[in-house]
């Protein structure tokens, strides 16, 4: 029926935009809520004459996002020089000496350093692997290579891969596979991630090199 067809077509057009707006709105509201809590605590310890100014800041939508973005930018600029790196080492030393906190802090720091380092290779290559059994293929992402004691037991050339679940790729499985058992894909990580999230309904475009014209 045309009615059903038009409804589905309209849904396909507006659903991605609606979800994008919802995610951005949730992010802005979350950061604004955090900023509101900070300003409420600030108003409790500052003179009453500053109360109206603090209330005006609390009512500015999106101010939390701007403050967080500015704070990240300033922090990055400060730790890019020698003095900033020295302070960063002192900061790390402080948290690594606190029981319980140090295990969480060190784990998160190692993961963030691996993912966001410009020299790292984590999540920069999409792979095709057999999972969960031979003959069943899925998309995975290379996260590195095994090291330390694990590498000494494996011996041969292995790679570390992350197999995401669908439609939520933030959960998944960590595997160490022989390099010969994985197929490196030419598609970008964004294309592979879209393929996973869409449950295979949005396949990546295939680039076919032009055929040379015979002379």
Same domain, 39 and 77: yes
> Which pLDDT score is estimated for 178?
92
d(CA 80, CA 74): 10
Task: Produce one character per residue of 39-48: b if its CB has 16 or more CB atoms within 10 Å, e if not.
Answer: beeebeeeee
Maximum separation of any 2 CA atoms in the chain, in Å: 85
Domain presence at residue 114: no
Report how many domains make up the chain. Answer: 2
Same domain, 87 and 139: no
The CA-based dihedral angle spanning residues 91, 97, 102, 105, taken in that order and rounded to the nearest 10 degrees:
0
**CB contact at 8 A, 88 and 110:** no
- CB-count exposure of residue 139 (10 Å: 0-12, 13-18, 19+): buried
Domain presence at residue 65: yes
Domain around 4: 1-44+53-99
139-193 pLDDT tens trace: 999 988 888 888 888 877 899 999 999 888 888 999 999 999 999 999 888 899 8
**CB contact at 8 A, 146 and 130:** no
Same domain, 131 and 95: no
80-111 pLDDT tens trace: 887 788 888 888 888 888 888 888 887 777 76
d(CA 203, CA 187): 10
Same domain, 21 and 88: yes
Domain presence at residue 111: no
Same domain, 2 and 70: yes
> Which pLDDT score is estimated for 80?
80
Average pLDDT of the chain is 82
| pLDDT bracket for residue 116 (50, 70, 90) | low
- pTM confidence score: 0.57
């Amino acid at each position: 029926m045309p009615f059903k067809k038009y409804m589905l077509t309209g849904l396909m057009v507006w659903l991605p935009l609606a979800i994008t707006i919802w995610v951005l709105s949730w992010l802005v509201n979350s950061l604004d809520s955090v900023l509101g809590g900070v300003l409420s605590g600030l108003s409790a310890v500052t003179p009453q004459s500053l109360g109206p100014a603090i209330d005006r800041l609390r009512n500015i939508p999106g101010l939390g996002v701007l403050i967080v973005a500015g704070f990240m930018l300033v922090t990055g600029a400060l730790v890019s020089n020698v003095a900033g790196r020295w302070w960063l080492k002192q900061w790390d030393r402080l948290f690594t000496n606190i029981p319980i906190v140090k295990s969480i802090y060190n784990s998160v720091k190692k993961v963030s350093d691996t993912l966001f380092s410009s020299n790292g290779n984590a999540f920069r290559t999409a792979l095709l692997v057999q999972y969960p059994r031979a003959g069943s293929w899925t998309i995975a992402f290379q996260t590195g290579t095994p090291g330390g004691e694990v590498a000494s037991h494996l011996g041969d050339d292995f790679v570390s891969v992350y197999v995401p679940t669908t439609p939520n790729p933030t959960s998944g499985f960590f595997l160490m596979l022989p390099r010969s058992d994985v197929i490196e894909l030419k598609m970008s990580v964004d294309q592979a991630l879209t393929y996973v999230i869409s449950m295979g309904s949005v396949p990546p475009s295939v680039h076919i090199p032009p055929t040379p014209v015979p002379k």
